[in-house]
Structure 1
Amino acid sequence: MTNNQHPIDVEVIETYYGAVLKSRVGEINVTTSHPEKRNREAMTDFAAWYFLPVGMRLNAALRIEGRGTRQTVANFRRISEIWQSWLPGHFYATDVSFAELNSRPTDVSHQNPGRDLLYFSGGLDAAYTALARLRDGRRQDLLTIHGMDYSLSDTAGFEALLGKTRAFAEELSDTRIVVKTDAYALYNKLKVNLKRHHLSHVFALAGAGFFHSSTYQNLILAADERLDGQFLHFPWGTNSATDHLFDDGRTKLITADDNLTRSEKLELILNSKTALNSLAFCWNRKIQPENCGHCRKCLLTKMMFLAATGSVPDIFQNQSIPSDWATRLRYRDPAGFHAVQEIFNSALALGHTRKIPNFTKTYEDVFGFYRRLRAIQESKFVAYNSRWMRSAINKLASIGKVYRPR
């Protein structure tokens, strides 16, 4: 399907600490705490990544009033085609153009594999990736974004997050960049996200990272799930199918550790008290960055710790485990089942089944449900095909009556 709207022109207005991206459909503001590390070459590829979901949602091509690369133009198209195939009618394949096209040769500074920028949110996945890189002797600067998990108006909550994660951040790097952006305001206005499926965060992450692209070769993003889990959480913004396409020819987004489950990441984190005490993943916005212990994200994390280690670390306001934990984790949904079966598998493999409340009964309830569901699906399939076959036979018989040779 061709674009059904006039192209969206995006004007990039540079300021000392950031940029304003203006268009007829809305604007995005971005600032950085380290302007010396921002893009020094007047490249505007970052604006394309920020506005990519806008173009896909409105079925309109983008025209960026600045310099960009051929690689960004090609990858922009590829990403939009993938999202169109996943969510036709919600997203459309579209294109981007720049006022000036440049190829970005790799300079000497970008040959250093240590010049990486690691997205650092305070979550479990980011903590593991950071520790694994530290263990392997890799250097990185850190990037934390205000305007995503914490709204721009929640200054107190975001400052509390910075405070809670400061000691761990200082162990990892001597540089922590803070980006502030209101991109979510425009994404929400255009209803980029679906109910229970968050799609827009990867574009805000990419935009913030590529705003510093002249300084870093790799933007390291911790995977939310192992590859099989990504399939079950589909559609989800950050994923190994599209993340690698955020690439301008020199700087690229890299998904780290998509070969591991969350349970497999816990041992390394437990070995670092600083990392453990920094974790902030709770969905209860009233108490963030503390972890309530009640919300589904906290319950899931408690269960994973219990299954993998046999105990729950003292990082939750409520340490208890409800007997109906699998129901609360929504095991009848594909993504919920994936989480529950990971808990089952971890507890069985590591010998912690007795630590899990009602393990045997819960296990049978969960898999009993799916056995019954499979039987119903198979019977419906057989019944449908039987009806189809009877209909086909009757039609053939009717044709035979009409055209029977004399």
Structure 2
Amino acid sequence: MNLSDHPNLQEHPFIQNATRPLIVRLTEKRSEGRVIRSASFGNQQVWWDLAGPEHSLPAPLVAHDMAATALIFVAMHRGQDLYIDGPVTYSLLKNMEDLIACWVAWRPDLYRAIRVGAAQELPDSAIPAPYATRAVAAFSGGLDASFTAWRHVTGRAGRRSYPLHAGVLIQGFDIALDAKAAFDTTIASAADTLHSISVPMVTLKTNWRTVACVNWEMEFGNGVATCLRNWQGSANAGLVGSDEDYARLVLPWGGNPITYAMLSSRDFQIVYDGGEFARTEKAEGILDWPVGLRNLRVCWEGPTTGRNCGRCEKCMRTKLNFMAVGAVLPESLAGRPTDAQILRLRAGNHAQLVLLEEIVLIAEQRQITESWLRMLKWAIKKNRFLNTFSIFGRIRRLLGSVKRRLVAR
């Protein structure tokens, strides 16, 4: 929405002192088994289309917090103050001040300091509490998501265990909105998995990545957190399976325990779940869940089928997670990799290298002595070498771009 179209907003104190305010208005439409929410800003719109059992869908909107989290990175990138034309909880607005400060410190090349305001600042007590403590969980069918679902349903998270109100399967992130066949396949496997633990599934389609994401690697966690925030008022928390464990955090990175806390409000927490477990330990942690293993989906490079390609870096790495604890590969990841395939592994960023190094460490702790482990060590050394030159190449291209701009002046 444009400020010129709503002259009454010009009298709001925040707007009067705002820097080129980005004004956002959140609306919803409801029908049986479906909720559609849209955040309009300027001539653009981000939408979320939720479908599932009526009792598992979000309650009608009270707070418009999700509009703030959805557009915060766009506003920071543009250097525009963000104004939500609706009620937002005080605790979220407070936490977002930390979020802005954090990302400006981490990535000043991408984001600038801005202010965030709302038509109404809600006390957290204004949000009706769910009648029972419960959480919704992001559920892609991947290893992190499967581990989170399994440990909460079985109570293995201890006092942190939540009853799961719904597993949320998102389309528009790793599976594109136009990849219908792939998503249909994913729905079938995810529904089978969640049914085995009596957790309802809700599908959520969104264009957030296309319209409101500036840098996917830095912002994907915010996209997932915003999807889960649809359930504010219906659940107490949104669970996101941890990327790296606490001993191997890679920062800055879109999914991390620091900024997930800053995307939380007092009534709805975004939880970085399972951070005390390495990815290989998570593989071991679902070995007693046959259905979860059978339907495991980790692949994002070959999403046209909605299944694992078995050849990409993530498929290969997940196979190695199971091999590092001496486990038989699940049928969803059939085909033990050869030494040659392991040696050819390409880890294009530091986060992937850290995860490969974790496999080596745990395999050695489990006294694995097979040849694949030696090949993996060589693959890690090769990728460190290649990535060093890749970094120098990016620096040279950046300096070249700056030089061309200076010459053009």
Task: Tell me the TM-score normalised to structure 2 length.
Answer: 0.80
Structure 1 residue 97 and structure 2 residue 121: aligned? no
* Shift in CA distance, 369/238, structure 1 to aligned 2, threshold 3 Å: closer
2:10 alignment partner in structure 1 = none
Over residues 109-156 of structure 1, what are the superposed CA-to-partner deviations in whole Å (9 max), with x where a residue is unaligned? 54733x111111111011011111111174202111121111111122
Structure 1 residue 14 and structure 2 residue 39: aligned? no
Aligned equivalent of 1:125, options 144, 153, 160? 144
Over residues 254-313 of structure 1, what are the superposed CA-to-partner deviations in whole Å (9 max), with x where a residue is unaligned? 111101101111222121110001111112335442111110001111111111125433
Structure 1 residue 348 and structure 2 residue 364: aligned? yes
Structure 1 residue 149 and structure 2 residue 165: aligned? no
1:245 alignment partner in structure 2 = 262
Could you say what secondary structure the match of 1:266 adopts?
A: helix
Please say if residues 292 and 317 of structure 1, whose CA atoms lie closer than 8 Å, have aligned partners that are also in contact: no
Matched to 1:131, the amino acid is W
Task: Tell me the TM-score normalised to structure 1 length.
Answer: 0.80
Please say if residues 139 and 173 of structure 1, whose CA atoms lie closer than 8 Å, have aligned partners that are also in contact: no
Please say if residues 5 and 58 of structure 1, whose CA atoms lie closer than 8 Å, have aligned partners that are also in contact: no
Could you say what secondary structure the match of 2:136 adopts?
A: strand
Matched to 1:169, the amino acid is L
CA distance in 1, matches of 2:313, 2:378: 22
Aligned equivalent of 1:279, options 296, 306, 313? 296
Q: CA deviation at 1:326?
A: 4.8
Aligned equivalent of 2:195, options 157, 170, 192? 170
Q: CA deviation at 1:25?
A: 5.8
Q: Structure 1: any 5+ residue segments left out of the alignment? A: 375-406
Q: Give 1 or 2 for the bigger CA radius of gyration.
A: 1
CA distance in 2, matches of 1:31, 1:369: 40
More deviation, 96-105/337-346: 337-346
Please say if residues 316 and 337 of structure 2, whose CA atoms lie closer than 8 Å, have aligned partners that are also in contact: no
1:381 alignment partner in structure 2 = none
More deviation, 135-144/273-282: 135-144
Aligned equivalent of 1:320, options 328, 332, 337? 337
Matched to 1:348, the amino acid is E
Could you say what secondary structure the match of 1:30 adopts?
A: strand
Over residues 6-40 of structure 1, what are the superposed CA-to-partner deviations in whole Å (9 max), with x where a residue is unaligned? 01111223222222211116210112215663243
* Shift in CA distance, 174/265, structure 1 to aligned 2, threshold 3 Å: closer
Q: Structure 2: any 5+ residue segments left out of the alignment? A: 1-16, 156-160, 389-409
Q: CA deviation at 1:318?
A: 4.3
- Percent identity of equivalent pairs: 21
Q: CA deviation at 1:200?
A: 2.4
Q: CA deviation at 1:85?
A: 0.5
2:163 alignment partner in structure 1 = 139
Aligned-residue RMSD, C-alpha:
2.8
1:391 alignment partner in structure 2 = none
Over residues 81-131 of structure 1, what are the superposed CA-to-partner deviations in whole Å (9 max), with x where a residue is unaligned? 111110002112222211111112187854733x11111111101101111
Could you say what secondary structure the match of 2:325 adopts?
A: helix
Over residues 220-242 of structure 1, what are the superposed CA-to-partner deviations in whole Å (9 max), with x where a residue is unaligned? 111011023222xx322110111
Q: CA deviation at 1:352?
A: 1.9
Alignment of 1:8-47 (within 5 A): 8-16=22-30, 17-24=35-42, 26-34=44-52, 37-47=57-67
CA distance in 2, matches of 1:82, 1:71: 17
Alignment length (residue pairs): 359
Alignment of 1:186-197 (within 5 A): 186-187=211-212, 192-193=214-215
1:227 alignment partner in structure 2 = 246
